[in-house]
Amino acid sequence: MDLKVWFSHFVSLNNFRVFVCLAFIQFVALCVGSQNVVAQDAVASDLLTDTKPISIVEASDISRSLNLQVIADLHYTSQGLLLSDVAQLTKWHRDYSVYPIPDDKVLWLRFQIQNSSNLNESLMLIAGNTFIDRVDGFLLDEQGRIIQSIQRNHMNRSANASGLHGFKMAITVRPDQLLSVYLRVDDDGPAMLPVELWQEKSFQQQSSIRLILLGALSGGLSLLATYFLITYMLRNAPARFWFSIFAVASMTTLLSAEGMLPSLFNLPAFAAEITAFSLTISLFAAIKIGRDIFAPVSPLWLRAHYILLIVPVVTLFLYNDFWQLISILGVIATFLCSKLFATLIYRSKIDLRSTVIYFCGWLALAAVAALEVLSFTQGASHVSYSAALPFAFTCFGIMLIGVAIISREHSYTHRIEANQLSTIDDLGKYKNLFENTAEGLYSATDKGVLLQVNPALAFLFGFSSPEECLKSFTNIHDFFADPIEADMLLGELSSHQTVLGKEFRGKRLNGGEFWFSISSQLSKTTSEAKHFGSLFDITERRINQVNMQYLNTHDQLTGLHNRRHFLQLLEERITQTNVDDNNCALFYIDVDQFKLINDTCGHTAGDVFIKELAHVLFEIVQPNDIFARLSADEFGLLIHYDDEKDIELTTQRILTQVRSFSFKWDRHLFTQSVSIGIAKHESNVVSAEELLSFADTACIVAKENGRDKVHVFSKDMGTNNSYERELYWVGEVNRALNEDSFELYYQHYRPLNKADDADYYEILVRLKMQDGELMLPEFFMPAAERYNLSNKIDKWVVENYFSWLSSQSEVIDSLGKCNINITGPSLSDEDFQFFLLNAFEKYHIPYEKICFEITETMAIIKMNDAIAFIKQFKKLGCTFALDDFGSGFSSYGYLKNLPVDFVKIDGNFVRDILTDPIDLAMVTSIKDVAEAMSIKTVAEFVESEDIMVQLGKMGVDYAQGYCVAKPDPLSAFVSYNERVLRSE
């Protein structure tokens, strides 16, 4: 709703209520025959008639003052109309409006004063306010003659004889006299202006009280402003300065609104402008106060308030008094609401006491604004008896804001003092920490000059006190056994600002060396760059680290390189040989009939024998040779040779040393021999594993030729067909690994005794030949296991299947269990276990979805490794199946020791269960034993519906075979349910 319409509607409602009351009073007065008509007795029905009589005010009935706003008659006329013409006008009304008087019109007011008493009545008529432009007053007797006239005109200072606060006319009414009063108003402000008739004595008293209150308020604000300005200069607190500006501007606004300042400077016509400018400065100072109290505040909030202050200044030059008043009221209302809301929003930035005081201060100033608006709408003058309330609330509100500033400063000071005490306490703690910590601490300049060390660091370098340490060690270079390392540390600090966990050799006061770890950070304190560091002794850890590294790369029994480290060194030597075009040869040395010593004298004797034999063989090893223990009774020797004679010479030395070596244990004397296989490095050898497999093959040939023999590997050597076949498949496996020529297949298996929509399948691997043919594992896997390549195939299967599965979210959701075969060498390969753990983490595969299959034979041969492997991954959620169960003679005995979840019944027993009662009994026995141990059973080679039905009746849990599903490529994976639907 438009603001002017709202004001008009509000005033009209009030007038209507007043008029109804007055009509009721007039009716009662007529009923009792009263002859006196007072202003409150106006008849409501005559308000808008053309011929109603002039309102009469009884002078003797005015106890103090009377508001004439609803009694006086109104009429808008042209500006040039004379009083004599106005007196003859009709259509007077009493409908006051907040709308401004039209530019070409003036507003006339009229009423009559009657004195029915026997005494003269002295009255005072006041109209308008400080900002009104012009008011002319005329007093007429019963004959219509002008007996008194007075004028207030801002544009004519000589005519401004009515005082500071608007129009004022003294009226004396004799007994039985009836006087007519006409007021002519020319102003561009609201037509609703205060018009009151006072007893002269009451008016003088109230005016005196008003001046006293005004003086008290001005004095109080002056004292507040002076106090805060002086304390600002002493304390340099910006909020105090802006409060002094706020108090002075508020006082200036008040004095200007009262007309004192315009009159003092002979600028009555600019009263509104002076008041608006003073109010703008007051609000600007209030913004600054809020910014300092609530710091930090939003810049957007500040900009919005600064823009808001432009509104009243702009309207002073572009609009009339009416719109100036509307803009000022709008700005004040918006500003007060903003202040109150800001106090609530930013209350957490200051203490509760200061927040409450500040909020109450602005609440009091909001009450002042509300009272002023209420007085305006009710037509009350500046000297009304309620006019003291704005003074009181103004003084109280400004004072509370000042108290809030002081309270805020006290709170801030208290907080600083508390922080200082806390800082002092923390410094004390840091001092205790610095002096009593077990870690060596120091500070130094960016050039390394020592400034401070703690007792722990001094003790670490052999000093009894920090002072003694600083006398001997002046620079951090003195910490290091090699000063160049100190320069490296300072250089890294200069470029990276921080160094963490660097390890160096230190030098103590007595010259002894030790290892320490140092962490330092470069930072600027004031204008000087310093670095602060800590260091501690890691000598014992370095020794343990060296020992651990040695144990990780050497055989514990003989002290020689172990197989893993030997393969690493062999790989490096092959790479270097390919670059340098040098020759190297690998000797694979296998002790003949070593089992005889173990069986005759025990494993302790066997360990002693291997240890002594290793020392004997080590005597022939040259400095550049690499000698290692590859397994229990096998050694590897890698030599560099220039011609074939070097290989022959080394061979003869080995054979001679072993032949001359005899081993005694108790009453037993053993003379041993060794078989040696030699593989020369050639350009087509791609890996250390391949070269080692060639040497192993040659060693096997040497054993087959009668032991104590030597055989040199060659592609065309006359070995039997089995060796040739193994070597062929070793080559094919290596090629497939290098060319990524394996392919994954899957085969579904199903539950027999329950309905389950999940998918159960086993992952199978095929080797793709160069002609495209796919070979089954039974062709290449034995050779791969023999020549230590099967663990690489296992890694390839796991890596590629996990990679595929991680990209198939729907397959993962429907997956019940996936079986993956693990070969024997992988069970004892620690690297494979690390690889498997990383693969699960890398591809986010749920552990419970994977079941690892281990063949019964390998589980029995590598019992300890199998149990350790199973226990480790069962903790994570994986399950295990024992494959080909029943093929061994001691299957049941070993089953008790293997913590598996499934046994896969050997297919040789399953094929003929319908025709062979022995096979049926074997399957039944395996099922009963597994059930007693809470182990699930899986029947392999289920090739017909009849066999599957029989297995279900027997209680076997799962069936796998061509009857359920044939193996298919994993790349064309189809869920079992979908496969069934397609077949239908």
- Phi–psi pair at 558, nearest 5 degrees: -105, -20
Q: Is 221 exposed, middle or buried (0-12, 13-18, 19+ CB in 10 A)?
A: buried
Cα(275)–Cα(131) distance, integer angstroms: 10
pLDDT band at 20 (very low <50, low <70, confident <90, very high): very low
Mean pLDDT (whole number) for 345-358? 70
- Phi–psi pair at 534, nearest 5 degrees: -135, 145
Residue bearing the bigger pLDDT, 155 or 639 = 639
Over the stretch 46-105, which tens digit does the pLDDT of each residue have? 333 345 678 888 888 888 888 887 788 888 898 888 888 888 888 888 877 767 788 788
* pLDDT score at 483: 86
The pLDDT of residue 878 is above 90: yes
Residue bearing the bigger pLDDT, 145 or 707 = 145
Contact (CB, 8 A) for 895 and 882: yes
pLDDT band at 9 (very low <50, low <70, confident <90, very high): very low
Task: State the maximum Cα–Cα separation within the chain, in Å, rounded to a whole number.
Answer: 167
Using CA atoms, how far residue 843 sits from 669, 737, 879, in Å, is 58, 21, 18
* pLDDT score at 154: 55
The pLDDT of residue 761 is above 90: yes
Mean pLDDT (whole number) for 120-143? 84
pLDDT band at 159 (very low <50, low <70, confident <90, very high): very low
pLDDT band at 879 (very low <50, low <70, confident <90, very high): very high
The pLDDT of residue 343 is above 80: no
Over the stretch 462-484, which tens digit does the pLDDT of each residue have? 898 888 888 888 888 888 988 88
* pLDDT score at 980: 82
* pLDDT score at 756: 84
Over the stretch 565-581, which tens digit does the pLDDT of each residue have? 898 898 888 888 877 77
Contact (CB, 8 A) for 657 and 647: no
Cα(214)–Cα(222) distance, integer angstroms: 12
Across the chain, what does the average pLDDT equal? 80
Residue partners of 566: CB distance under 8 A and separation at least 6? 626, 628, 630, 636, 638
The pLDDT of residue 25 is above 60: no
The pLDDT of residue 736 is above 80: yes
The pLDDT of residue 148 is above 70: yes
The pLDDT of residue 939 is above 90: yes
Cα(977)–Cα(174) distance, integer angstroms: 119
Cα(392)–Cα(385) distance, integer angstroms: 13
* pLDDT score at 50: 45
Cα(907)–Cα(883) distance, integer angstroms: 10
Nearest to 37 by CA among 53, 49, 21, 48: 53
Nearest to 54 by CA among 144, 116, 187: 144
Residue bearing the bigger pLDDT, 597 or 165 = 597
For residue 296, say if its preceding peptide bond is cis, omega within 30 degrees of 0.
yes
Residue type, 589: I
Q: Describe the strand order of the beta sheet including 674-680 as a list of residue ranges.
A: 626-629, 634-640, 584-591, 674-680, 710-712
* pLDDT score at 965: 92
pLDDT band at 982 (very low <50, low <70, confident <90, very high): confident
Mean pLDDT (whole number) for 345-350? 62
* pLDDT score at 42: 32
Over the stretch 279-323, which tens digit does the pLDDT of each residue have? 788 888 887 887 777 777 777 777 777 777 777 666 666 555 566
Mean pLDDT (whole number) for 350-373? 76
Mind giving me the DSSP string for 576-644? HHHHHT--EEEEEEEETTHHHHHHHH-HHHHHHHHHHHHHHHHTT--TT-EEEE-SSSEEEEEEE-SSH
* pLDDT score at 48: 37
Nearest to 913 by CA among 883, 943, 887, 881: 943
Over the stretch 198-247, which tens digit does the pLDDT of each residue have? 888 888 888 888 788 888 888 888 888 888 888 888 888 888 888 888 88
Cα(913)–Cα(129) distance, integer angstroms: 120
* pLDDT score at 13: 35
pTM exceeds cut of 0.85: no
Q: Would you say the C-alpha torsion 374, 379, 380, 382 has a positive or negative sign?
A: positive
pLDDT band at 967 (very low <50, low <70, confident <90, very high): very high
The pLDDT of residue 759 is above 90: yes
